[in-house]
Chains A and B, each alone.
Chain A
Amino acid sequence: MEKKTVDIKDFVPAPGEARPRYSASDFERGGGTARDDFDEGLDLPDIDTSPMFINIGPTHPATHGTFRVYCQLDGESIQKAGVDVGYLHRGFEKIVEVKQYNQVIPYTDRLNYCSGLVNNIAFCKAVERMLDIEITERTRVIRVIIMEIQRIMDHMICCGTNIVDIGALTNFWYFYNARDKLNDVLEALTGARLTYSYTRVGGLAWDLPSGWRESVKAAMREVPAAIADVRGLVEKNRIFQDRTRGVGQISTADAISFGWTGPCLRATGADLDLRKVRPYYGYDQFDFDIPVGANGDVYDRILVRIHEMNESLRIIEQAIDRVPDGPINVDDKRVTLPPKHKVHTSMEALINHFKLVIDGVQPPPCRIYDATETPNGELGFYIVSDGSGHPYRIKVRPPCFYTMNALKFLVEGGMVADIVAILGGLNVIAGELDR
């Protein structure tokens, strides 16, 4: 204690002794900074106060993908930011122009890889509209169930990792335990755990395995407990609230102007959800609500997602007992392969099989823009057909492309640490952002 007092107040180095760097200016003044007669602020040596430029990303663990935020910093606050994306650009829209429509489905898995099945369904839904096909009742209900399972899984990744990024790891495991059970269910159905490719134009790849509905019900029972655990840990947590409330705030008008959709838009208070506004696949027959936030900050985005999981659970509970018996593929020779025994016994079926495999599904010459409510927001496919078996052009409207557009708007004026919280809350998935 004695030594410390001397150090701060009156330490004068012996002649020739190296001066400690931490108090360089003090010696010229002939005294420590703690002395009562210390005159602060006068003739300090020049300190570099020019802005500092740093890169956050492209490979930063908290970016969950590769994109770069180039920041001009004043201390720890961000004066200006530039967002650089495209590190995962792999020419999706170019390569699909030489594929058949059903061959595009595996590529759509890689758009938002946290919920590949929803992308499969969104693409097939657009192509089925081009062909004027009404899918069977059984397929429709199965698609609703797997879309809602994927919505829960996607939100679990988003919320789990977002909360990890701001320092709370336990929640992540609570969500991932339940998510793993859901993944087992989808693995039993599709044989895959990430890139499912389960739908086909006009139906599904195969029917439900036996006992699948019971396994869904069992997995569903894990989810409410996980949600309750996480909510109990974070919702009233002071540290969590300090890190998320008022951070990355955006008004409804700005969010709409930026083209935001999905949970990020609903966190600002707008209740726009395609499942309610333009119900497809009989969503209007299910009883569910659209959770909305109020402030449009990171806290609301996480909470809206957590509440949406509960609503998805409600939909699945209603749908799981409503799966009717019947075929899964439409009876339409333009899209569905004939049964194998007919291929072996009938010339027409053999030709049909051959033409479908070689030429693929051939929508009439037309253009269509079809949108689906994915976990991230509106996923749109603008498809141009010239009548051949290959799509002339497919333009994807990824929901997070337009939320990411607003990142500059959100982070400027904030702190460096907020970038991590904001990025996680936007749920930007590089796969669909860069295509």
Chain B
Amino acid sequence: MATQERARHDALVAELKQRFGARVLDVDFAFDDCTITVDKAAIRDVLVYLHNDRGFDFLMDVAGLDCMNLPSFRERFEVSYMLYASKSDTRVRIDVPVSELDMDVPTVTDLWKSANWGEREAFEMFGFNFVGHPCLKRLLTHHEFVGHPLRKDYPLMGGQWCSSTSDMTEELNEPR
């Protein structure tokens, strides 16, 4: 089972390398998983290709990461997309290094509807700016909350006084 999936991963990686060349920065097969690190300039194209041509119909999760305290990293932040193709039973994780100086990341809400809340959570926790997102508002924290709490330089203890109720106009008028 694992070997079959490895063959599918190898084919996918070869195809991606052929199409996107040096923009595929790194490939990792630890724990029988497949992790592909992609340059931010190509991330939208890679995800569109995976969604439209390779049958990755599930975007399971969007996870942010602050690499500040890791021993080595490309850029300070990273966005990870957990993808799953249900027809071929293939899982892939796409990592994108994101510079602290340019937090813009293209949205994929038009490809997967699950990206809507996934990207909103990554935005509020780390501060990524998902360009083109229909409603990039805070989701789990209060709308008056300041800062991005899962960054490594955000203190563990402390609190903020938030008082008013959120005006839901933006969520209300979001397209269905």
Contact = CB atoms under 8 A, between A and B. Distances in A.
B65 interface: yes
A97 B156 CA distance: 9
Contacts of B117: 401-402, 404-405
A365 B114 contact: no
Interface centre among A97, A259, A368, A435, by most chain B C-beta atoms within 10 angstroms, is A259
Nearest to B66: A393
A367 B150 CA distance: 17
Interface string A385-412: 0100000110101000110111011001
B82 interface: yes
Nearest to B170: A82
A91 interface: yes
B63 A258 contact: no
A368 B33 contact: yes
**Interface bracket on A:** 35 or more
A93 B168 CA distance: 26
B107 interface: no
Interface stretch (A179-187, A221-229, A270-278): A270-278
A213 interface: no
A406 B172 contact: no
B112 interface: yes
Contact of A408 (B66, B86, B89, B171): B171
Contact of A82 (B89, B138, B174): B174
B7 interface: no
A189 B176 CA distance: 47
Interface stretch (B42-50, B52-60, B98-106): B52-60
Given A258-B113, A259-B58, A72 B139 contact: no
A277 B80 CA distance: 23
Interface string B61-83: 10111100111000000001010
**Interface bracket on B:** 35 or more
Nearest to B173: A80
A366 B31 contact: yes
Contacts of B125: 93
Contacts of A406: 113
A95 B155 CA distance: 11
A368 B93 CA distance: 10
A270 B113 contact: no
A424 interface: no
Contact of B149 (A68, A94, A404, A434): A94
Contacts of A278: 1, 89
Contacts of A142: none
B140 interface: yes
A232 interface: no
Contact of B171 (A82, A254, A382, A401): A82
Contacts of A256: 57-58, 86
Interface in A33-91: 68, 70, 72, 80-86, 89, 91
A258 B114 contact: yes
B176 A380 contact: no
A401 B139 CA distance: 11
Contact of B172 (A72, A384, A402): A72
A380 B156 contact: no
Given A72-B172, A91-B149, A95-B156, A259 B140 contact: no
Nearest to A403: B114
Interface string B159-170: 000000010111
A259 B60 contact: yes
Given A86-B139, A93-B150, A256-B58, A405 B172 contact: no
Contact of B59 (A98, A130, A259): A259
A369 B113 contact: no
B33 to A, nearest CB: 7
A129 B70 contact: no
A83 B61 contact: no
Given A85-B139, A86-B140, A94 B82 contact: no
B129 interface: no
B31 A386 contact: no
A382 B114 contact: no
A114 interface: no
Contacts of A434: 140
A434 B139 CA distance: 9
A81 B172 contact: yes
B173 to A, nearest CB: 7
Nearest to B112: A257
B8 interface: no
Nearest to A365: B71
Contact of A405 (B63, B82, B113): B113
A371 interface: yes
Nearest to A258: B113
Contacts of A93: 125, 150
A378 interface: yes
Contacts of A270: 86
Interface in B123-176: 125, 138-142, 149-150, 154, 156, 166, 168-174, 176
Contacts of B30: 366-368
11 contacts: A82-B172, A84-B166, A86-B141, A86-B142, A257-B113, A259-B60, A261-B60, A382-B80, A397-B61, A405-B117, A408-B174
Interface of B: 1, 30-31, 33, 35, 57-61, 63-66, 69-71, 80, 82, 86, 89, 91, 93, 112-114, 116-118, 125, 138-142, 149-150, 154, 156, 166, 168-174, 176
Q: What are the 6 A-B residue pairs with the smallest beta carbon separation, nearest first?
A: A259-B114, A82-B171, A86-B140, A82-B168, A70-B168, A395-B63
